[in-house]
Structure 1
């Protein structure tokens, strides 16, 4: 599609692959079965940092698009319509398929508590995008629907963002963003006290710093007439990568304070990587790795939504109720699931996502932000 940035797509691709390796190789025990050292297992176990990248990217892209349109008539309505066409079709397909197959599974086997469908919330919870709040209370999610918690967080941000950008000046918006960054670790610690440690991970208010950083980047790059002349993308990329790796390697998340500050550090690392991608423009070298990451980045939404369902279904087809690398032919099953995920994500991109993205702008005469969805999640 016109207007896409290779550097942004490549960062999306990196983010979704961080999450994918977590699901396919870490939670299945793949790294342990391969004899990976403990430090590497700890590092790869932090693959959820890809979600932090998606949150910051989403806030930057959508915030930048709204700032570019200012207070154009109809911008709020058009924004909501475009977000709905971008997010809902694939989301509804995954949720509907999940409950349909869960009903079929229970009707034919009667086996409850499988990895894919362990205690799913009622369908209305997913339709209202409240699953992240429920997960913060229960501390558990059904794996089929697991990735949708981050979509719920983003939907809450989508509802708020255009109201802020059309009613606040840029200086006031900057103060709001900084306030979010400062308040988020305190909200995470408080949420652990009033609910569970999971609340600090899942609840929308506990992720405000990621969205705050995205808005700060959008405002800063809008204010700088020549960001490429002020920011060295390579320096920002190295700094962000180093901070991300150091945080994952050294944080034990042993108590509420350390957990809260770890998330803050990961959000800042994601912000540095977003600055690098946003500032790169045409400076990114074209090589097979970048092209592969950008390919994944374009399909990151479906890759993110489909990887857990496909992983679980592939193991079910092989006769196992949950994924594990230690079962006979475990790695072959994992490889098959990964390949199927990429194939299905490509089909979903071409047949569902891209057609909906082309259709969305026709819904209103007002021009809306051109940024595609930033998450995988």
Structure 2
């Protein structure tokens, strides 16, 4: 779900270097992944609104909405191969890679977490939600899984950050070997992911190590595999790409084991069924998209590409749209009595608008400014003078 080679990752379509054709299909996959998560969460939230007003709401099962996370993880593994093309085998690659990832991921997440903590503080003062303990807050900012709510669930203060706890762990693994030649580095990451999952089978639930060894980390490895094939020049015949895309889409939509068909608000286990029925199908669809000539961006799909640009903002900011609509329903009987799907549509539209604004006015300038500052720090004398 995150960026290409530069620190300002979502400003341009995915490309590893100058002259490389932009990967519009990957950008559209990003947009699709974010929208799947937003639509899934919106349905859950609006179902609560409708039921509190005495109505009924039937969730759509058109897509396994939670599989948007798996799509994000597979894309992340792919992009790390594609975007690190100039780093593999280079001196200093480890520090450069970590700098890029931290600048790209951490600032917006920390900003959103801080905003959410302020809302929690206000709610706590009014006798609402309990404010998290300091250790839970510290763990959230540090991307370390922690039982924030005391119910055994390893979620950060800002729930959505659980995916970033996996992302940052994956980046740490890749950073260990990014200075090696590409084929050795990718093979080493694949071995580490496999070994961690095997070790995880023997680790009791409830710890950070258990969290980081769930089979869902294989999703990153699937993306790495697609990236390695592309980097190696693999080109699939058109018929094979179509077959991969159709097979992946059918398996994903069918969800034969009903991995994503649990009760409203049910958290999907990050276990092997999820990998096999979400990670593998979306990896097949990604391979179909990139292992051949990149098509021109169709004009009707340009808006989805724009959503792909803002996918990180959309992922992190959409809960604020949910909160806004839920608060409006609490204060207005007409809003609370509105049809469930109208509420979902309004929530998704509001989330997209919020994300586009957040991307333009917060994420993009913040990432660019920090990336430039870290890459080109001022001399100590200049900094002292400024202070």
If the TM-score is normalised by the length of the shorter chain, which range does it land in? 0.7 to 0.9
1:244 matched to 2:252: yes
Q: How many residues align?
A: 342
Within 5 Å, give how 1:106-117 maps onto structure 2: 106-107=124-125, 109-112=126-129
Bigger RCO (CA 8 Å, 6+ sep): 1
Q: Aligned in 2, Cα 1:230/1:219: closer, same or farther, shift over 3 Å?
A: farther
- Is residue 78–residue 363 contact of structure 1 (8 Å, CA) maintained in 2? no
User: For residues 342 and 166 of structure 1, what CA distance do their matches in structure 2 show?
Assistant: 38
Deviates more, 1:336-345 or 1:154-163: 336-345
CA drift of 1:302 comes to: 0.9
CA drift of 1:179 comes to: 6.3
User: For residues 77 and 181 of structure 2, what CA distance do their matches in structure 1 show?
Assistant: 16
Q: Aligned in 2, Cα 1:35/1:133: closer, same or farther, shift over 3 Å?
A: closer
Q: Aligned in 2, Cα 1:354/1:251: closer, same or farther, shift over 3 Å?
A: closer
1:319 matched to 2:330: yes
CA drift of 1:129 comes to: 0.8
CA drift of 1:361 comes to: 5.7
Q: Secondary structure at the match of 2:179?
A: helix
Name which of 205, 208, 217 aligns with 2:213.
205
Q: Aligned in 2, Cα 1:69/1:168: closer, same or farther, shift over 3 Å?
A: closer
Within 5 Å, give how 1:149-160 maps onto structure 2: 149-160=162-173
- Give the alignment's Cα RMSD to 1 decimal: 3.8
User: For residues 70 and 351 of structure 1, what CA distance do their matches in structure 2 show?
Assistant: 33
1:218 matched to 2:227: yes
User: For residues 111 and 195 of structure 2, what CA distance do their matches in structure 1 show?
Assistant: 37
Please name the residue that 2:18 is paired with. Answer: none
Deviations 1:10-58 (A, max 9, x none): 1111111111111111453289967648xx54x65x3211111111111
Please name the residue that 2:291 is paired with. Answer: 279
| Larger proportion of helix | 1
User: For residues 270 and 121 of structure 1, what CA distance do their matches in structure 2 show?
Assistant: 36
- Is residue 78–residue 227 contact of structure 2 (8 Å, CA) maintained in 1? yes
Within 5 Å, give how 1:294-333 maps onto structure 2: 294-319=305-330, 327-329=336-338, 331=340, 333=343
Within 5 Å, give how 1:113-128 maps onto structure 2: 122-128=136-142
Please name the residue that 1:74 is paired with. Answer: 92
- Is residue 318–residue 354 contact of structure 2 (8 Å, CA) maintained in 1? no
Please name the residue that 1:234 is paired with. Answer: 242
Unmatched 5+ stretches in structure 1: 366-377
Deviations 1:50-75 (A, max 9, x none): 11111111111112322443222332
User: For residues 70 and 102 of structure 1, what CA distance do their matches in structure 2 show?
Assistant: 43
Deviates more, 1:304-313 or 1:96-105: 304-313
CA drift of 1:269 comes to: 1.3
Unmatched 5+ stretches in structure 2: 1-10, 16-21, 263-268, 377-387
Please name the residue that 1:57 is paired with. Answer: 75
Name which of 18, 22, 35 aligns with 1:17.
35
User: For residues 250 and 109 of structure 2, what CA distance do their matches in structure 1 show?
Assistant: 34
Please name the residue that 1:162 is paired with. Answer: 175
User: For residues 10 and 350 of structure 1, what CA distance do their matches in structure 2 show?
Assistant: 18
Q: Aligned in 2, Cα 1:311/1:103: closer, same or farther, shift over 3 Å?
A: same
Please name the residue that 2:7 is paired with. Answer: none
User: For residues 109 and 284 of structure 2, what CA distance do their matches in structure 1 show?
Assistant: 29
Q: TM-score, normalised by structure 1?
A: 0.76
- Is residue 7–residue 284 contact of structure 1 (8 Å, CA) maintained in 2? no
User: For residues 235 and 121 of structure 2, what CA distance do their matches in structure 1 show?
Assistant: 53
Q: Aligned in 2, Cα 1:238/1:317: closer, same or farther, shift over 3 Å?
A: same
User: For residues 368 and 220 of structure 2, what CA distance do their matches in structure 1 show?
Assistant: 26
Q: TM-score, normalised by structure 2?
A: 0.74
Name which of 351, 354, 368 aligns with 1:341.
351
